[in-house]
Structure 1
């Protein structure tokens, strides 16, 4: 199991829409997340503009699973919608499906169980 954490900025005008769509995530997206070996996925909002996400990857080929995620048309539709609500901290980022990664990966410096 590998843990991931990442950040992205939310456009102030999109706060309510972002919270609403994540209160009703499409079943196809939830199923693809599960099928791609991602568990314990959470997104936190700091009430200003930063979103912080964390999840556990329990598979053995992260790149292949992420390629399967990206290949799903419903996931890509979801990304188009949610990317429009966000601003990436990654220079040159285009979106979740292409270019440099949309979310900024974070280095884990401490963990305890």
Structure 2
């Protein structure tokens, strides 16, 4: 099993932050989204927020590769529509590289 931790920011707008959280609630998320996530080899995904900073923790199968996994997910039903909607609420961190959206974090401690 592999584990990834990524970060991204939300736009500093209370209404957008509220909408982002609402879309991610179990009773609001489009059913194709978690189905697509799982179909790509992602076993679990948690997103945490403090202020405008998001942190995503993913556990995947051993064969999962981040770039190709996200590319595969983008081709699944409703994923592009979901990504476009989420992009209206998100912004890349200032330290993101060109073409990067969610930024992979480096693990610095493990117990």
TM-score range, shorter chain: 0.7 to 0.9
Secondary structure, in 3 states, of the residue corresponding to 1:72? coil
TM-score, normalised via structure 1 length: 0.83
- Match among 49, 74, 77 for residue 78 of structure 2: 74
CA deviation digits over 1:47-68, x for unaligned, max 9?
Answer: x210111111114142443332
**CA-atom RMSD, angstroms?**
1.5
Asked whether the equivalents of residues 36 and 59 of structure 1 are also in contact (C-alpha less than 8 Å), the reply is no
The structure, 1 or 2, with the larger RCO (C-alpha pairs under 8 Å, 6+ apart) is 2
- Does the CA-based 8 Å contact 1:43-1:51 persist in structure 2? yes
Determine if the alignment matches structure 1 residue 42 to structure 2 residue 46. Answer: yes
For structure 2, the residue ranges without an aligned partner over 5 or more in a row are none
Please give the secondary structure, in 2, of the residue aligned with 1:12: coil
Contact kept in structure 2, 1:43 and 1:53, CA below 8 Å: yes
Number of paired residues? 104
CA deviation map 1:22-75 (0-9, x unaligned): 0121111110111111122100010x2101111111141424433321112401
1:20 paired to 2:19? no
Structure 1 unaligned spans of 5+: 93-99
TM-score by length of 2: 0.84
What is the CA–CA distance in structure 1 between the aligned matches of 2:92 and 2:74, rounded to whole Å?
18
Once residues 76 and 58 of structure 1 are traced to their aligned partners in structure 2, the CA distance between those partners, rounded to angstroms, is 23
